[in-house]
Amino acid sequence: MPKSLCYVVGYPGSGKTTAVAGAMPAGPRAAIAKPFAHIRYDRGVVQLGASRDIYSGTDALALNVQPQVVQWLNQTTDVPVVIGEGDRLGNAKFFAAAQTAGWGLTVIHVDVPELVSRHRAWQRGSRFDDRWFAGRVTKVNRLTRAFADHCVTLDGTQSRRDVTRKLREILAFERL
């Protein structure tokens, strides 16, 4: 069975978490805590991280979780699709390790102008330092360039419903 890692990246406030939450398969799911927090859906689909009111997805994971997740990816045989989003595991080293472990990679970039991203983050109550934000922008831009052959861009300025629908089309769970 081919294994697929789909990872959603974007600036803070771009709509990554919202899109992923809306795009996940309907039906039964189980929150699993070990060896790291993840959610298992029907058909074996796994979402990295946890669902919370604020800072969901991989932001709910420990800062040092990457080696555990890579080890899990290397040992997992019954999961066809792994979904991740956010900053915690959204990095070149993690993507390369997943590919080395035999996972097909799709990087999904929810693209919004920097000013829109800042405004949305501010609206949800995020208060961050300008240098931190600039670092996240640089990181996302570098990732999307480095993995351009594996990258699909979604227009994050469209409605939440449209972005979620397009993400669902990319993930295509109904084909599992």
pLDDT tens digits for range 99-132: 999 999 999 999 999 999 988 888 877 777 889 8
Q: What's the CA gap between 155 and 163, in Å, rounded?
A: 7
CB contact burial 115-139 (16+ within 10 A = b; e otherwise): ebbbebbeeeeeeeeeeebeebeeb
Whole-number pLDDT of residue 4? 93
State pTM to two decimals.
0.92
**pLDDT < 50 stretches in the chain:** 176
